[in-house]
Amino acid sequence: MSKTNCFHCGLDCGNKPIVFDNKNFCCNGCKTVYEILNASELSCYYDFEATPGTIPSEIKGKYNYLENEEIVEKLLEFNDGETSVVEFYIPSIHCSSCIWVLENLSKLNDGVTTSMVNFPKKILRVTFKNKRTTIKQIVELITSIGYEPYISLEDADSKSKKVDKTLIYEVSIAAFCFGNIMLLSFPEYFQVDGFWLEKYKYLFRYLMFTMSVPVVLYSAKSYFISAYKGIKHQVLNIDVPIAIGITVLFVRSSIEIFLDIGSGFFDSLTGLVFFLLLGKFFQQKTYNFLSFERDYKSYFPIAVTKIIEGLEKSIPVKDIEKGDRLLIRNEELIPVDGILINGTAEIDYSFVTGESVPVTKQSGDKLFAGGKQTAGAIEMEVINTMSQSYLTQLWSNDVFSKTNEITLKNITDTISKYFTIAILTIAFFAGIFWYVYDASMAFNVVTAVLIIACPCALALSAPFAIGNMLRIFGYKKFYLKNAETIENISKISTIIFDKTGTITSSDKTQITFLGDNELSIEELRIIKTVLRASNHPLSRSLYNFISEDPFDEKPEAFEEVLGKGIQATINGYSVKLGSASFIGLNAERFNETSINIRINNYLKGSFIFKNSYREGMKNVFESLAKTYKLVILSGDNDGEKIHLEKILPKNTQFEFNQKPNDKLEFIKKKQEIGEKVMMIGDGLNDAGALAQSNVGIAISEDVNVFSPACDAILDANLFSKLPEFLRLSIQTIGVIKASFVVSFCYNIIGMYFALTGQLTPVVAAILMPLSSISIVIFVTVLTNWITKKL
């Protein structure tokens, strides 16, 4: 860059550049951005590319259309008046440096709350405060620092359908040049003599050189960029030896041609790049396939209650249609955008915005998908259907990720780093040896070593093995949040089960009423009206058991105390439903699972629940007891302890009368003594325990138990398969370790042939991607094989 060019954007500053910090700037805007980046410790942005700043020549006025409220409304995913959420497709995202800058937008604009990048899809998700900034200012900001978003007003899905074809172009150019250089090299291969061939030999060589230039500068540029950034951050990544190999081939070949020493190795060079890119293309296609297959988890059984002609019916979220009337109970998630019809709405949008302060909504207000109702039941009308993948996106949000150490990734990165150092060292000493022993072989040996021993296959083992297992688990209705969950499952030593709604089945529960007098029809209707707003398994069972219709009126006051009960006021009646201690009774009198009733301060009686345990529960516990410490951790009383002691393994620990916070503390104490804990609950009262545990699994029936606190969701009908899922998670880690061994063996064998001079660079270039492909096939076939009996 010329000294008269702007340090930030690269444009010509003219005769009067603005000088600041010994740097030239073309305008105050560029100077201001530099100051902000520098003050926010983001100045290394200027090191990301060889040419700092990819700012467009002119963006002023380009995004004025984003001041139009109708247009902005189409782009925003969420807007409650205070906070908004928007997603942008940004094609220029290509490396970890890009992610780092874009996820630090809050330092450049104080109106931005959070910004997160989905690297595979090149999507930036921004949450911002409406009073501090606008969508136009955000777009101008990210454009000014070189990441112009693709915005299509004609097709809202265009950003996700936009395909990056860069790799296809790179492969195509490499293939074209490789094929033609091979043809031009034939006379050199066979050393054919002839007047015309001899006369045009130099022309052919210069043509080969010319065609190799775009292969090196364009097709292979990603290897050079990756290697440069790795070295700049003092990391020897797997692209360093590849970049060195390509450079050596190109420089040596160019010297041979221009000094008329020989024909060079342009065929090997272009062949190397072509086969490397072909391998990368295959890997990308395979990964995309696995990612697509993993979308099965978008259909995990989250349901919602639809009101049809006054009747309530549970339906899957994916079946919701525009115009449907939905009942959203207390602590349930709003799955789609809609209009509040009636009820008191106190919406917690922390899943979307990260802020837990509830937002009050009145009848007629718009409700956004992703919010959680916290003040009883409400009714809403659907105005916009939304794919279940949106809920999956909330579930996978990094905000709710646990800070567990990702051992496999660390092991892979560490091995790759030392592997690269070893390769460079071996290549260096091999070059010295062959230079002394046979100088003509030194170049080929060094190049072959650098190529054949690339640890790409090693780096692919874990992501493809775990990715395929996630796909298979999802297909079998065991939905894992991310790849790390499988590794965490393999380390578990203690498994803790909630009782109600987890090891018990709500649809087979036997309910009887115990009281001095039978409840009147009006009292039953009052109780059912209050229960209508609750999502607790016992509440749902009793609600379905009572045959009377609820009142049309909604409770004037409603409060559900997790783990205890419900208190509400309706039609002048004060109602308390819940545990004995919650309604003021001696808990020791009630040694059974029950919902006790107090209306207008008079004890009316209790509904007693005879729990029906899930099919195969005994076999599940007996199987797990061989490997894990087992605990029953329940908020209920110990009325069924004697029964459970008879059917469960002897070493099972029982803890009853546990409040939600008690469960969390119990898990924390287990972890403090070195236990790796898995918590299995119903996703409602157990949210804190699920979040505290090393692995939290929510058992899902036909109710909306969506919880970002959990790491996995298991279909309740597959509870008996739990030991198999855990066993397969452990075996998956075994598959990865086996693939490490295979990869090492391959590299040792390949290294032997390379060091002994029996391997040419172009053959090494063919074998290297083949090794990666073989590892992908190995782990995919093996994971499919171990799950064939599932």
- Give the H/E segment covering residue 188: helix 166-190
Q: CB neighbours of 66 closer than 8 A, spacing ≥ 6?
A: 72, 75, 134, 135, 136, 139
Q: At what angle do helices 483-490 and 407-437 cross, to 10 degrees?
A: 100
Which of the 8 DSSP states describes residue 12?
Answer: B
Lowest mean pLDDT among 489-498, 668-677, 733-742: 733-742
Question: How many other CB atoms are there within 10 angstroms of residue 285's CB atom?
Answer: 11
How far is the C-alpha of 423 from the C-alpha of 454, rounded, in Å? 8
pLDDT score recorded for residue 218:
93
Residue 768 binned pLDDT confidence (cut-offs 50, 70, 90) = low
Q: Which tokens belong to 637?
A: 């009383």
CA atoms within 13 A on the CB side of 663: 33
Q: What pTM value is reported for the model?
A: 0.69
pLDDT in tens, 230-260: 677 566 666 777 788 788 778 878 888 888 8
CA distance 94 to 790: 38
pLDDT attached to residue 739: 85
pLDDT (mean) for 720-729:
92
Q: Which residue has the higher pLDDT, 108 or 673?
A: 673
Digit-coded pLDDT (tens) for 105-127: 887 788 898 888 877 678 888 99
Task: Tell me which amino acid residue 401 is.
Answer: S
Cα–Cα distance for residue pair 518/546, rounded to 1 Å: 13
State residue 209's pLDDT score. Answer: 92
In this prediction, residue 56 carries a pLDDT of 44
Q: Which amino acid is at 616?
A: G
pLDDT tens figures, 361-401: 888 888 888 888 888 889 999 988 776 667 776 776 655 55
> Which residue from 523, 517, 510 is spatially nearest to 592, judged by alpha carbons?
510
What confidence score (pLDDT) does residue 667 get? 93
pLDDT of residue 570: 87
pLDDT tens digits for range 429-461: 988 998 888 887 887 788 778 767 666 666 667
3-class SS of residue 655: strand
Please tell me the distance from the alpha carbon of residue 220 to that of residue 174, in angstroms, as a whole number. Answer: 9
Angle at 477 between CA 624 and CA 655, to 5 degrees: 40
CB neighbour list of residue 769: distance below 8 Å, 6 or more residues apart:
275, 276, 278, 279, 280, 282, 456
The secondary structure of 386-428 as a DSSP string is --THHHHHHHT-GGG------HHHHHHHHHHHHHHHHHHHHHH
Chain segment 605-620, per-residue pLDDT in tens: 889 888 788 888 899 9
If one compares 488 and 392, the residue with the highest pLDDT of the two is 488
How many whole angstroms separate alpha carbon 744 and alpha carbon 182? 32
**Rounded Cα–Cα distance for residues 322 and 346 (Å):** 23
Tell me what the mean pLDDT of segment 496-517 comes to.
83
Three-state secondary-structure class, residue 409: helix
- How do the residues of the chain divide into helix, strand and coil, expressed in percent and rounded to 5? 50, 20, 35
Closest among 131, 135, 154 to 143, alpha carbons compared: 135
Q: How far is CA 339 from CA 85, 246, 554, 598, in A?
A: 19, 60, 18, 35
Q: Higher pLDDT residue, 99 or 525? A: 525
Single-letter code of the amino acid located at 37: L
Q: Which residue has the higher pLDDT, 236 or 726?
A: 726
Lowest mean pLDDT among 287-296, 572-581, 735-744, 756-765: 287-296
- The string of pLDDT tens digits covering residues 646-659 is 889 988 999 988 88
Model confidence at 286, pLDDT cuts 50, 70, 90, reads low
Please state, in angstroms and rounded to a whole number, the distance separating the CA atoms of residues 731 and 461. 14
CA-only gyration radius of the chain, Å: 32
Query: Nearest 10 degrees: CA dihedral of 474, 349, 125, 231?
Result: -80
Mean pLDDT across the chain, nearest whole number?
A: 79
* Residue of 729, 317, 303, 734 whose CA lies nearest to 540: 303
Instruction: State the pLDDT confidence band at 219, using cuts at 50, 70 and 90.
Output: very high
Contact yes or no for 498/634 (Cβ under 8 A): yes
Q: In angstroms, rounded to a whole number, what is the distance separating the alpha carbons of residues 467 and 463?
A: 6
Phi, psi of 503 (to 5 degrees): -95, -5
What residues have CB less than 8 Å from 448, skipping those under 6 apart? 753, 754, 759, 760, 761, 763, 764
pLDDT in the model for residue 52? 39
Evaluate if residue 40 carries a pLDDT over 80: no
In 200-265, where does DSSP find H-type helix? 201-214, 221-232, 239-258
| Residue 99: alpha-carbon gap to chain centroid | 15
pLDDT in tens, 135-186: 988 988 888 777 788 886 554 444 444 556 788 899 999 999 989 988 887 7
Q: Which helix (H) or strand (E) holds 509?
A: strand 504-514
Three-class SS of residue 80?
coil
Q: Binning pLDDT at 50, 70 and 90, where does residue 51 land?
A: very low
Residue among 112, 222, 32, 131 at smallest CA distance from 102: 112
pLDDT in tens, 682-699: 766 677 888 889 999 988
d(CA 655, CA 644): 12
pLDDT of residue 22: 77
**Cα 578 from Cα 538, distance rounded (Å):** 10
Query: Model confidence at 48, in pLDDT bands (50, 70, 90)?
Result: very low
CB neighbour class for 10 (10 Å; exposed up to 12, middle 13-18, buried from 19)? middle
Q: What length is written for the chain? A: 790
Single-letter amino acid, residue 266: F
* Residue 670's pLDDT band (cuts 50, 70, 90): very high
Contact criterion met (CB below 8 Å) for 37 and 9: no
Tokens of residue 375, six digits: 């003040």
For residue 503, the SS3 value is coil
Instruction: Give the Å distances, CA to CA, from 766 to 17, 273, 275, 320, 750.
Output: 52, 10, 6, 51, 12
Task: Give whichever of 286-290, 414-418, 767-771 has the largest mean pLDDT.
Answer: 767-771
C-beta separation of 267 from 178 below 8 A: yes
pLDDT tens by residue, 555-596? 888 888 877 889 999 888 899 998 888 888 765 555 677 889
Query: Residue 716: pLDDT above 90?
Result: no
Q: Which residue matches tokens 């020493």?
A: 261
Query: Which token pair is 7?
Result: 């340090």
pLDDT digits (tens, 9 = 90+) for 319-347: 888 899 998 888 788 888 899 998 888 88
The residue whose two tokens read 């029936």 is 701
pLDDT at 268: 77
Give 520-548 as a DSSP string: PHHHHHHHHHHHTT---HHHHHHHHH--S
∠508-559-640 over CA atoms, to 5°? Answer: 35
Nearest-angstrom CA–CA distance, 540 and 703: 9
